[in-house]
Amino acid sequence: MEKILAVASEFIGNLFELIKSWINYLIGKRTKIDDIKLKEVPSIAKRVSVLFQNVMDDDQYYFNFYHSDAFKYIKNIEDFSRHFENQRGSFYGEYHRIDELIKTREKLKVQLKTARLYLNYDIIEDIQTYLKLDQFWYETTAYTDNNTFYLEFFRNISDDKNHAMRGKISHRVLKKLGRLINL
């Protein structure tokens, strides 16, 4: 009987050591994962912040461009769009900047896929909501000159309600990203 108690005691002691080692391993592994995440968060937050600010700045630029004094004589968005397209040579820089804005929005969407692993859900959701405010639909055909891209772009960008929402969202996002960058 003593032998059985000694073997049982040794077995329980070894089992306890095994459980203790396993718990330490899990805690250590979790700590390493958290350390890696903590190191990555500021870097990812910076990349997202730069792309987001580029999109924001261009959105604001085109909002101001549409509402500038230079175009006060144009009565509606359709006429503005027609004028913009007819004066393509004069607005070469703006055309190029619109192309870059579209590319930057796509880069931001791609970066958000990685950022989801590291950043808070509410930051990702706010940025996605902001990008949805930038979405618009347009028509184009290969056989006619019916291309409504710039009309819909300026209709979307000049909308006061969208502009106000962009402002609120961007303020929240930049505040949250700023905290993460300064970890």
Segments of the chain with pLDDT less than 50 = none
Which residues is 28 bridged to in the sheet?
Answer: none
Q: Give the model's pLDDT for residue 70.
A: 82
Could you please report the per-residue DSSP string of 14-61? HHHHHHHHHHHHHHHHHHHHHHHHHHHHHHHHHHHHHHHHHHHHHHHH
pLDDT in tens, 21-74: 766 666 665 555 555 566 788 989 999 999 999 999 999 999 999 988 888 888
Q: Give the model's pLDDT for residue 2.
A: 74
Which residues have CB under 8 Å from 9's CB, separation 6+?
A: none
Q: Give the model's pLDDT for residue 73.
A: 85
CA angle 6, 7, 11 (to 5 degrees): 120
Containing H/E element for 175? helix 160-181
Q: Give the model's pLDDT for residue 162.
A: 92
Distance CA 43, CA 33 (A): 16
Asked if 101 and 147 touch (Cβ cutoff 8 Å), the reply is no
Q: Which of 62, 52, 133 is nearest to 96 (CA)?
A: 62
Q: Give the model's pLDDT for residue 29.
A: 55
Which residues is 98 bridged to in the sheet?
Answer: none
Indicate the domain borders of the chain: 40-181
3-state secondary structure at position 147: strand
